[in-house]
């Protein structure tokens, strides 16, 4: 199984029901319904088994900094693999927040549309220490 590669379009913050701020990465779910549907599956079937791995990748483009690749592998309740591609320069503060918290929300709806669409977004646990090691 080849992982789906998803560039992170923007980052921000999602507030849960208790008011806790969660770092959020927005991806294009319209072109990858297999990833966009994971939030619904997890809401119905439970969190299941999920693992993450981060890797820093230098870019050759002079106007772009390094990329941070965050691989996500699920083995239950469904099998899925995808990679989130972050612009390390632009997304560093959100990635630091995610690493410190050990959580990340993956949104497949642009934040401006979230109030009207009320989408189910995927919240994942991640290895914060391993992520932080790639930010230095």
The pLDDT value recorded for residue 14 is 85
Below-70 pLDDT ranges, the chain? 62-64, 110-119
pLDDT for the residue 17: 84
What's the pLDDT score for residue 5?
A: 92
Give pLDDT, residue 84. 95
Q: SS3 of 27, please?
A: coil
Cis peptide before 43 (omega within 30 of 0): no
Three-state secondary structure call for residue 104: strand
**Residue 114 confidence (pLDDT):** 63
Nearest alpha-carbon partner for 103 in 126, 73, 72, 74: 126
For every residue of 59-98, DSSP letters joined together read ---TT---EEEEEEEEEESS-EEEEEEEEHHHHHHHHHHH
């Amino acid at each position: 199984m080849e992982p789906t590669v998803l560039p992170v379009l923007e980052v921000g913050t999602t507030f849960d029901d208790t008011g806790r701020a969660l770092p959020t990465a927005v991806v294009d779910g319209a072109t990858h319904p297999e990833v966009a549907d994971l939030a619904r599956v997890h809401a119905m079937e439970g969190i299941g088994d999920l693992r993450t791995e981060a890797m820093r990748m230098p870019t050759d483009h002079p106007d772009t900094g390094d990329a941070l690749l965050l691989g996500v592998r699920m083995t239950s309740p469904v099998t899925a693999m995808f990679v989130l591609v972050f612009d390390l320069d632009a997304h560093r503060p959100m990635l630091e927040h995610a690493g410190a918290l050990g959580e990340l929300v993956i949104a497949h709806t642009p934040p401006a549309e979230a109030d009207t669409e009320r989408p189910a977004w995927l919240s994942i646990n991640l290895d914060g220490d391993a992520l932080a090691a790639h930010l230095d």
